[in-house]
Amino acid sequence: MDFDELQNTIRTIEAKVPGVLSDAGSIDALRSLESGILGKKGSLGSLIATIGRYPQDQRGKVGQAINAAKGRIKGLIEKRFKEFQAADAAEEVDAAAAFDPTLPGDPIPMGAVHPVTAVQWEVERIFERLGFTVEAGPAMETEYNNFDALNIPDTHPARDMQDTFWLTNGMVLRTHTSPVQHRSMLKFGAPLRVIAPGQCFRYETVDASHDTTFYQIEGLLIDRDISIPNLIAMAKLLLNEVMQREVKVRVRPGYFPFVEPGIEIDMNCEICDGVGCATCKQSGWVEVLPAGMVHPSVLKAGGIDTEQYTGFAFGLGLTRLAMMKYGIRDIRVLNTGDLRALVSPRRLGGVLLC
Ligand code: FA5
């Protein structure tokens, strides 16, 4: 193209610039327009490469014409760029003015302790007031502690009462917290008041009230002149305190080789209020507190003088009690990380984590 045509091309390019600049909606869009016009391959920038095609005596004015146009367009782009900066700054000022530091902040969702832990802590507090200490035993137990020391030799049919996970090293995942009875007798002797919360494992069919992993709290009191009425009074006190009202209970005979006599203390099903539902297997009652007077063989295995001492023991179904307290119909939600099982902070009262 000759010099006149070049000037026409430059004029056409410049004429379009104000329109495209005002259409640019952001600084980024502006930057890409800038390179589309002034960059090496841009509509104006690419003309620089054509200078060499003009006769020697015209190259100076060709270069000047292109550079002059480049300067004018650059000026327009800078002006638009400043407009964007000013708008951003004004937005920030508006946001700062709109922020009221005296208003309460957005609520932060709060975590709560797991229902089973919450009830465990409550039970611990109740028993600590009654002079009990809190003991712990291992989840992996010896066969002897889980069975033999509790008057369940390997020929005893009662071993089948609790389906056991046997480990390859000959030990078991404890099926109940009762082994802590034996451990505590050996450790402290008599008189003795301990509770032992802990996880238990059974190879069972899972349903609304049975899981393969669940929690119990063992209780053991050994002293002089201890009898069943002491046990029943303590059990009622425990349930009433946890539920914060008078709980309807029933006491019936129960068989466990490590107690004699043995009893089952059931509580009214709080899910259906005794009418019958899947949680209580339509019976209206929930088994939560099997118990009894400690069998003399168990006391002897623990080195306790049976001439002087008697005692009672119980195995509170902690997971089931938590279900009753918080209205949880199905035990399975408690082990699956289901957030619906995490009760509201309001109902948990004083035992919130934060
Ligand atoms: C025992 O485990 C005895 N060791 C309790 C005991 C201790 C009796 C001291 C006498 C003296 P049982 O198998 O019934 O008993 O379990 C006790 C409680 O644990 C049950 O009442 C129930 O509330 C709970 N429980 C038992 N199996 C499961 C399970 N699979 N899932 C959830 N809770 C269970």
Q: What is the pLDDT of residues 139-149, one digit of tens each?
A: 999 999 999 99
* Position 223 pLDDT exceeds 80: yes
* Position 274 pLDDT exceeds 80: yes
* Position 252 pLDDT exceeds 80: yes
Report the amino acid identity of residue 257.
Answer: P
* Position 96 pLDDT exceeds 60: yes
CA atoms of 145 and 180, how far apart (whole Å): 8
216 CA to centre of ligand 1 in angstroms = 7
Q: What is the mean pLDDT of residues 24-36?
A: 88
Per-residue pLDDT at 345 = 40
* Position 210 pLDDT exceeds 70: yes
CA atoms of 317 and 331, how far apart (whole Å): 12
Q: What percent of the chain has pLDDT over 90?
A: 69
211 CA to centre of ligand 1 in angstroms = 11
The domain covering 115-348 belongs, at the CATH homologous superfamily level, to Bira Bifunctional Protein; Domain 2 (3.30.930.10)
- Best residue among 320, 332, 334 to mutate for probing ligand 1, ranked by most atoms within 8 Å of CB: 320
318 CA to centre of ligand 1 in angstroms = 9
Per-residue pLDDT at 117 = 94
Q: Rounded mean pLDDT of the chain?
A: 91
DSSP for residue 250: E
Per-residue pLDDT at 344 = 52
Domain ranges of the chain: 3-98, 115-348
Residue pair 160/189 in contact (Cβ under 8 Å)? The answer is no
What is the atom index within ligand 1 of the atom nearest the CA of 175? 2
What is the atom index within ligand 1 of the atom nearest the CA of 216? 19
* Position 353 pLDDT exceeds 50: no
- The neighbour count for residue 44, using CB atoms within 10 Å, is 20
* Position 347 pLDDT exceeds 60: no
Question: Whose C-alpha lies nearest to ligand 1, atom 28?
Answer: 210
Q: What is the mean pLDDT of residues 280-296?
A: 97
288 CA to centre of ligand 1 in angstroms = 7
| Distances from the Cα of 182 to the Cα of 172, 259, 293, angstroms | 16, 13, 14
Weakest-pLDDT range from 50-54, 91-95, 148-152, 263-267:
91-95
Q: C-alpha dihedral over 157, 161, 167, 172, to 10 degrees?
A: -100
Residue pair 313/263 in contact (Cβ under 8 Å)? The answer is no
- Write phi, then psi, for 163 (nearest 5 degrees): -70, 125
What's this model's pTM, rounded to 2 decimal places? 0.71
Query: Which residue ranges have their beta carbon within 6 Å of ligand 1?
Result: 162, 176, 178, 202, 204, 210-211, 214, 216, 256, 259, 262, 287-288, 290-292, 313-315, 317, 319-320, 331
pLDDT band at 125 (very low <50, low <70, confident <90, very high): very high
Weakest-pLDDT range from 35-39, 182-186, 199-203:
35-39
Question: Whose C-alpha lies nearest to ligand 1, atom 20?
Answer: 317
Residue pair 125/132 in contact (Cβ under 8 Å)? The answer is no
Closest residue by Cα to residue 316 from 257, 242, 248: 242
CA atoms of 152 and 175, how far apart (whole Å): 13
315 CA to centre of ligand 1 in angstroms = 6
- The neighbour count for residue 18, using CB atoms within 10 Å, is 12
* Position 151 pLDDT exceeds 60: yes
Per-residue pLDDT at 350 = 33
CA atoms of 326 and 318, how far apart (whole Å): 12
CA atoms of 220 and 198, how far apart (whole Å): 14
CA atoms of 223 and 231, how far apart (whole Å): 12
Side-chain half-sphere of 191: how many Cα atoms within 13 Å?
8
Per-residue pLDDT at 348 = 42
What is the atom index within ligand 1 of the atom nearest the CA of 291? 10
* Position 109 pLDDT exceeds 80: no
Per-residue pLDDT at 343 = 52
94 CA to centre of ligand 1 in angstroms = 64
147 CA to centre of ligand 1 in angstroms = 14
CA atoms of 34 and 43, how far apart (whole Å): 10
Per-residue pLDDT at 24 = 85
Q: C-alpha dihedral over 349, 350, 352, 354, to 10 degrees?
A: 130
Q: Which two tokens stand for residue 353?
A: 């984590």
